[in-house]
């Protein structure tokens, strides 16, 4: 599959068109960003680790019946995906309180949430991805009621699959962000699933194994991502 034009340059990935109008190539760069792009650094091997990690997770989700845009891994830093029409929405499920939830509601960091909670955010860096609700999505036509129902169903289904997968490997899936898009009339999981977009803690020590290491300047960012991959049995060169 040949790369054609640069379609989107995101904060950590570049997306290219291909010879096939239905397919795109996602290139995972080594760039690591936080705080809506205010902090950016190059971290060796991160693009490769996230590409391989994402491929592994997307395949697990497909096997569990979650439709994803993932088609195949092409090389160390690139994967072939379906060309979705993305909704400008981020879906977040939280099993444990942390991050913005703690700042917004003043609840204790590490508090177990039973049942898990769900939030929508608008994907807009200039506005710092504000939280939105179902009514905003309908009123501003960012999606339909059917999209809302499907996003909630699929995001919770992902939780069922991944919470167990990580726990079996000694990790707690604290929270994560998913993005969805349409392809030929159906909703698919798009974007990526990697330690850049979720929180993972060691189940025993609660050591952070995700992008909070970068956000909080804790160091050992890629080493933590590689440890997560290793524990799950993701093969890395």
For ligand 5GP, the binding residues (CB under 6 A) are 90, 92, 99-101, 129, 175-177, 196-199, 211
Q: To the nearest whole angstrom, how small is the minimum distance from the Cβ of residue 212 to ligand 5GP?
A: 8
Nearer to ligand 5GP, 99 or 220 (CB): 99
Q: To the nearest whole angstrom, how small is the minimum distance from the Cβ of residue 175 to ligand 5GP?
A: 4
Residue 65: which region, alpha, beta or left (left: phi > 0; alpha: psi -120 to 50)? left
Nearer to ligand 5GP, 18 or 214 (CB): 214
Q: To the nearest whole angstrom, how small is the minimum distance from the Cβ of residue 112 to ligand 5GP?
A: 16
Residue 120: which region, alpha, beta or left (left: phi > 0; alpha: psi -120 to 50)? beta
Nearer to ligand 5GP, 18 or 176 (CB): 176
Nearer to ligand 5GP, 147 or 196 (CB): 196
Nearer to ligand 5GP, 20 or 134 (CB): 134
Q: To the nearest whole angstrom, how small is the minimum distance from the Cβ of residue 108 to ligand 5GP?
A: 14
Between vectors from CA 57 to CA 55 and to CA 63, what angle results, nearest 5°?
100
Q: To the nearest whole angstrom, how small is the minimum distance from the Cβ of residue 83 to ligand 5GP?
A: 21
């Amino acid at each position: 599959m040949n790369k054609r034009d640069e379609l989107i340059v995101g904060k950590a990935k570049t997306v290219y068109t291909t010879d096939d109008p239905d397919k795109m190539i996602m290139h995972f760069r080594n760039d690591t960003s936080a705080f809506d792009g205010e902090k950016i650094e190059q971290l060796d091997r991160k693009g490769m680790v996230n590409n391989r990690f994402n491929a592994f997770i997307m395949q697990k989700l497909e096997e569990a019946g979650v439709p994803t845009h993932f088609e195949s891994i092409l090389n160390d830093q690139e994967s072939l995906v379906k060309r979705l029409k993305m909704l400008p929405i981020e879906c977040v499920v939280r099993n444990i309180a942390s991050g913005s939830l703690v700042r917004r509601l003043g609840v204790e960091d590490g508090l177990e949430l039973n049942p898990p909670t769900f939030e929508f955010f608008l994907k807009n860096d200039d506005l710092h991805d504000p939280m939105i609700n179902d009514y905003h999505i309908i009123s501003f036509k960012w999606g339909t009621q059917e999209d809302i129902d499907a996003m909630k169903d699929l995001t919770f289904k992902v939780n069922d699959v991944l919470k167990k997968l990580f726990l079996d490997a000694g990790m707690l899936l604290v929270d994560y962000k998913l993005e969805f898009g349409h392809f030929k009339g159906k909703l698919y999981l798009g974007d990526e699933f990697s330690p850049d977009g979720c929180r993972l803690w060691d189940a025993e020590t609660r050591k952070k194994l995700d992008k909070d290491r970068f956000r909080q300047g804790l160091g050992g960012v890629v080493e933590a991502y590689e440890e997560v991959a290793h524990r799950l049995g993701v093969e890395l060169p």
